Amino acid sequence: MKLAEAESTMEKTVEATQRAFNTIRTGRANSSLLDKVLVEYYGTPTSLKSLANITTPDATTILIQPYDRSSLNLIEKAISMSDVNLTPNNDGSSVRLNIPPLTSERRKEFVKIAAKYAEEGRVAIRNIRRDALDTIRKQEKNSEISEDDSRDLQDKLQKLTNKYTNRIDELLTAKEKDITTV
């Protein structure tokens, strides 16, 4: 595994962690809350975003307007069954989700969830580092690279690891601030 490969994989890990953070509810409406919702559409699990236009007309409402009105009840059912914990209101042409204000207890819970996602991201980055280190050590052992080159690569790899774990920490800090802001 080359350094560029490791860096690319670490970048993808940070992006995945950001997407995980986006699914955590804050005090205001955000369409990314529905990213993981799958609707059983003609026998196929389909993402809600591909079946409907999702907007946030105000800070406490998510409006879902399906492209195909016949999927309205399916969308409502999928949201009810999901882990979003919001009650859909079907008005015949669209589905509205009212976002209630978060209690301080729920905010603490969401901060813990965000911390868990961040730790998963950091573990993934450390695993990438471990794999790259194994490759570097193998190359050194097989005399493909010199001991000095091996040390340089290991130092660069550690700096990359620190850079990406710090980015995850920054994302976590921003998300925690977002969750705890009333």
Write the CATH number for 67.
Answer: 3.30.1360.40
Among 117, 115, 122, 106, CA closest to 25 = 106
Q: Do 73 and 109 sit in the same domain of this protein? A: no
Considering only the C-alpha atoms of the chain, give the largest distance between any 2 of them, rounded to a whole number of Å. 70
Residue at 169: amino acid letter: D
Structural domain boundaries enclosing 61: 31-98
Could you give the number of structural domains in the chain? 2
pLDDT on residue 11: 94
Q: Do 140 and 161 sit in the same domain of this protein? A: yes
Q: Do 70 and 136 sit in the same domain of this protein? A: no
The model carries a pTM of 0.72
Q: Do 107 and 176 sit in the same domain of this protein? A: yes
pLDDT on residue 22: 83
Per residue of the chain (182 residues), what is the pLDDT tens digit?
578 899 999 999 999 999 888 878 776 777 777 878 888 888 888 888 888 888 888 878 888 898 888 888 888 888 888 877 778 888 888 888 888 877 888 888 889 999 999 999 999 999 999 999 999 999 888 888 888 888 999 999 999 999 999 999 999 999 998 888 76
